[in-house]
Amino acid sequence: MLLQLVNQDLGYDRGLVLRNISIAIREGDRIALVGESGAGKSTLLAAIQARLLQQAALVPQNPGLVASLSVFHNIYMGRLNQHPTWYNLINLARPRQREIDAIRPLVERLGLEEKLFERAGELSGGQQQRVGICRALHQGGALVLGDEPVSAVDSHQARTVLNALHEHFETVVLAMHDVELALSYATRIIGLQHGGIALDQPSAGLTASDLDFLYKDSDEKHR
Amino acid sequence: MKNIADLPGAVRPHYSPAVRVSTAFIAIAVVCLAFADIAITTLDPWAEIQRMLLGVVTPDFFAVEAIGTAVVQTIAFALVGVALAAFGGIILAQFFHIGPVRWACAIARSIHELFWALIFLQMLGLSPLTGVLAIAIPYAGICAKVYAETLEETPAAALKALPAGTSTISTFFFVRLPDAWSHIKSYTLYRFECGLRSSAVLGFVGLPTLGYYLQTAFSEGNYSEAAAQLIMFYVIIASLRLWMKPKLIGLYLIVAPFLLGGATEVRWENIVRFLTEDIVPAPLRNADLLDPQVWSAFGDWLMMMLTDQALPGFVATVVLTQIALVATAFLTLAFFPLISTKFFGRFGRSIGHLFLVIMRSTPEFILVYIFLQLWGPSMLPAIVALALHNGAIIGHLLGRYSDEISLRPDSSSGINLYAFEVVPRLYGQFLAYLFYRWEIIMRETAILGVLGIATLGFYIDSAIADIRLDRVMLLLLVTALLNLGIDSLSRLIRSRLRLSTRISACDG
């Protein structure tokens, strides 16, 4: 068991977003959090993050890149805690071949090989998001937590990204807005609605229409 | 028709807080003006002006040796001083959350470079170290504050994305510093430009920089040489971005320490005597501290110092500061259109730019010195010089700001445009800049005493001449406190008026 929440109230300082939440996350779970925007996906993710910070690689919604550093350096940052500080500083001044070799396969897979030594601030939004993914992949570990990790990339790249994340990490928890993608990658779906968990079951046997009810409110608003 | 006075508050014409604050400051300045000595005491200022202007149009660049030495040493002192300050500043910025570090930095920057030079002259004599420390110490205090503020703005997202357990040093070099780098770099370059001005002024206390040669040329009435030196100084500052290349900085820093002129001998016993004897208040020196009579003598000394020197110096400093501040405000409003695309064409603006560049590149101390030669010692030269210099700095910033205002296509022109469209939109920014410079004007006002105007610096300078360093320290303390007081008052007013509080490009 990685994490267990029992009857927890979750939220930011401004007020509760989720009430009375109980979930358990086990090693090997591949979880997709779904629900309307504002349903509390990010809140739940942040709560999981706060409890598993030491073990998890993060893919935040805002990739949090350092604009003036190269793509290489931004990815290298995933392992700042795994190297001594002096070694980090040497790599900051001049990347070691060893580290470049470790990072190159990741950027090649996500189609960023041409950009490896460009400044992160000069990339497009989708490219920046993929740099954030590469950083998490480079950091490694058993668990990844992602908040809409494919929101800014096209559908072909989205599959590449999700394949990479699911291959690299044993346990995956991703907030997703694309229900089809969620169903095809996750083995377990957690649906959020009205400040609580409305659904928590294996994805096998579920279809997109089974999840429609989660989005009913916004549909009504749109009508 | 209804009488206006009968209408409820909201529909009656009323003045905004910004206008009320402005009016109050103008009223204070008018009252101060009644107490200020603004007489012209020279016999024939016009003849002197004519001779100076003649010097300006016939600059004597053949005094090559003096000019070359002056320029090289001015640059060398600025380089070494600002490099030390930047290095110290970036380290201090790491500890800026600690109260005592913050206070030490505030005190370091509340005391003018020239005062620091006067202190170190007592300890180290005319050694190059005196000049370097005089720049490095107050500048380190300013750099620490600005760097710390900049580093604080590191986006939280970048920090959150780091793996847990990343060391503080790695975090600093991979996230905080790269993120703040471009701002730190441009701010440090700007500091270096200020450092050139400070370095030039240090010549007035005997260090071998521009001010020294300028003072010599002026006292000999050799205005052509003085003009040539000033013109060289403007060229150096105007071309700063051409020769201050990142690749060359290392080379400059290696060479510069060898170009610092001045006597080299530093005597250790002078430093010890200064710290252990000279600055101890006279009644306490070598006295029995358990003897109540010693303390009553100390009380008398303190009373005498405060009423005879600190108070009159304090009053004169405040009076001059308030007048200069309001004069700066008026000149700013007159200057900014000179470089604004809203008011002048290309040709007019280039003349405006030239004028403003000259006014803001000339250290205010040198401007005051020049006007003092013309009009004799009173507050008038100081007011005019401070207003010209500071008005040019803020006018330049406001002029650029005014270019960004987008007007509707059918807006008015000329004075109407100025009064109805542009100034109201700029007014908040204008006040923010002005209050930001308030404390800087006060710092400068205090130091002008060295030139004979009866501000705090005058009493400090006299005490130094009498070698009464205990008095110097007390008066410096008063000066620092006044500066810190104005700084916090300015911050209070800025936050009350909701003016933007971070304008690091306008200090110095």
Least confident of B58-72, B116-130, B227-241, B453-467: B58-72
Do A147 and A43 fall into the same domain? yes
Of B211, B15, B180, B222, the C-alpha closest to B90 is B180
A22 in any annotated domain: no
pLDDT of residue B50: 86
pLDDT at B325 > cutoff 60: yes
pLDDT at A223 > cutoff 50: no
Least confident of A2-16, B15-29, B437-451: A2-16
Residue B166 corresponds to which tokens in the numbers above?
Answer: 């990343």
A33 in any annotated domain: yes
Cβ separation A73–B174 shorter than 8 A: yes
Do A223 and A178 fall into the same domain? yes
Least confident of A19-33, A206-220, B165-179, B273-287: A206-220
Do A220 and A146 fall into the same domain? yes
pLDDT of residue B508: 43
Query: Would you place residue A219 in the very low, low, confident or very high pLDDT band (cuts 50, 70, 90)?
Result: low
Report the alpha-carbon distance of residue B391 to residue B375 in Å, rounded.
21
| Structural domain range at position A112 | 66-140
Task: Give the B window 164-193 contacts with A, CB below 8 Å.
Answer: 164-167, 169-171, 173-175, 178-179, 181-182
Domain ranges of chain B: 16-58+292-508, 62-278
Report the alpha-carbon distance of residue A132 to residue A138 in Å, rounded.
10
A61 in any annotated domain: no
Cβ separation A69–B178 shorter than 8 A: yes
A211 in any annotated domain: yes
pLDDT at B10 > cutoff 70: no
Residue A78 corresponds to which tokens in the numbers above?
Answer: 């995933």
pLDDT at B160 > cutoff 60: yes
A87 vs B263, residue with greater confidence:
A87
DSSP E strands in B187-301: the ranges are: none
Q: Across the interface, which of B158, B163, B166 has its CB nearest the CB of A66? A: B158
Condensed to tens digits (0 to 9), the pLDDT of residues A134-170 reads 999 999 988 999 999 998 888 889 999 999 999 999 9
Domain stop point among A106, A140, A174: A140
pLDDT at B410 > cutoff 50: yes
Do A125 and A153 fall into the same domain? no
Cβ separation B164–A89 shorter than 8 A: no
Report the alpha-carbon distance of residue B234 to residue B359 in Å, rounded.
10
Q: Are B105 and B138 in contact (CB under 8 A)?
A: no
Report the alpha-carbon distance of residue B19 to residue A21 in Å, rounded.
55
Do A70 and A118 fall into the same domain? yes
What's the whole-number mean pLDDT along residues B372-385? 91
Amino acid code (one letter) for B408: R
Q: Which residues in chain B are closer than 8 Å to A64, comparing Cβ atoms? A: 155-161
Do A152 and A220 fall into the same domain? yes
Q: Which residues in chain A are closer than 8 Å to B165, comparing Cβ atoms? A: 54, 81
Percentage of chain B exceeding pLDDT 70: 94
Write the class of the CATH domain B16-58+292-508. mainly alpha
CA of B180 to nearest chain A CA: how many angstroms apart? 9
What's the whole-number mean pLDDT along residues A29-51? 87
Domain stop point among A109, A140, A171: A140
Q: How far is CA B113 from the centre of its chain?
A: 9
pLDDT of residue B125: 86
Query: Would you place residue B328 in the very low, low, confident or very high pLDDT band (cuts 50, 70, 90)?
Result: very high
A196 in any annotated domain: yes
pLDDT at A222 > cutoff 70: no
Query: Would you place residue A42 in the very low, low, confident or very high pLDDT band (cuts 50, 70, 90)?
Result: confident
CA of B155 to nearest chain A CA: how many angstroms apart? 7
When the pLDDT of each residue in chain B is averaged and rounded to a whole number, the result is 88
pTM for the whole structure: 0.82
Report the alpha-carbon distance of residue A183 to residue A181 in Å, rounded.
5
Do A87 and A152 fall into the same domain? no
pLDDT of residue B505: 46
Instruction: Identify the closest residue of chain B to A131 by CA–CA distance.
Output: B161
A8 in any annotated domain: no
Alpha helix stretches (DSSP H) within B203-277:
210-219, 223-238, 240-243, 246-259, 268-273
pLDDT at B504 > cutoff 70: no
pLDDT at A72 > cutoff 80: yes
A187 in any annotated domain: yes
Which helix (DSSP H) or strand (DSSP E) does residue A10 occupy?
Answer: strand A3-12
Instruction: Identify the closest residue of chain B to A79 by CA–CA distance.
Output: B163
CA of B88 to nearest chain A CA: how many angstroms apart? 20
Condensed to tens digits (0 to 9), the pLDDT of residues B470-500 reads 999 999 999 999 999 999 999 899 888 887 6
What's the whole-number mean pLDDT along residues B313-326? 96
Cβ separation A64–B157 shorter than 8 A: yes
CATH of residue A154: 3.40.50.300
Do A130 and A96 fall into the same domain? yes
Do A151 and A175 fall into the same domain? yes
Condensed to tens digits (0 to 9), the pLDDT of residues A75-92 reads 999 998 889 988 998 898
**Domain B62-278 classified CATH 3.40.50.2300?**
no
B90-to-B171, B181, B190, B507 alpha-carbon distances in Å: 15, 11, 16, 18
Complex ipTM = 0.75
Percentage of chain B exceeding pLDDT 90: 51
Domain B16-58+292-508 and domain B62-278, same fold? Reply is yes
Q: Which residues in chain A are closer than 8 Å to B155, comparing Cβ atoms? A: 64
Do A76 and A134 fall into the same domain? yes
Do A192 and A128 fall into the same domain? no
Pairing of strands A56-59, A3-12: unpaired
Do A49 and A97 fall into the same domain? no
Q: Are A115 and A71 in contact (CB under 8 A)?
A: yes
CA of A147 to nearest chain B CA: how many angstroms apart? 12
pLDDT of residue B481: 94
CA of A60 to nearest chain B CA: how many angstroms apart? 7
Q: How many domains does one find in chain A?
A: 2
Query: Would you place residue B161 in the very low, low, confident or very high pLDDT band (cuts 50, 70, 90)?
Result: confident
Cβ separation B157–A85 shorter than 8 A: no
Interface test with B, best of A61, A66, A89, A134 (most B CBs within 10 A): A66
pLDDT of residue B479: 95
CA of A204 to nearest chain B CA: how many angstroms apart? 32
Domain stop point among A91, A109, A140: A140
pLDDT at B373 > cutoff 90: no
pLDDT at B506 > cutoff 50: no
Cβ separation A63–B157 shorter than 8 A: yes
Q: Which residues in chain B are closer than 8 Å to A66, comparing Cβ atoms? A: 158, 174-175, 178-179
pLDDT of residue A54: 76
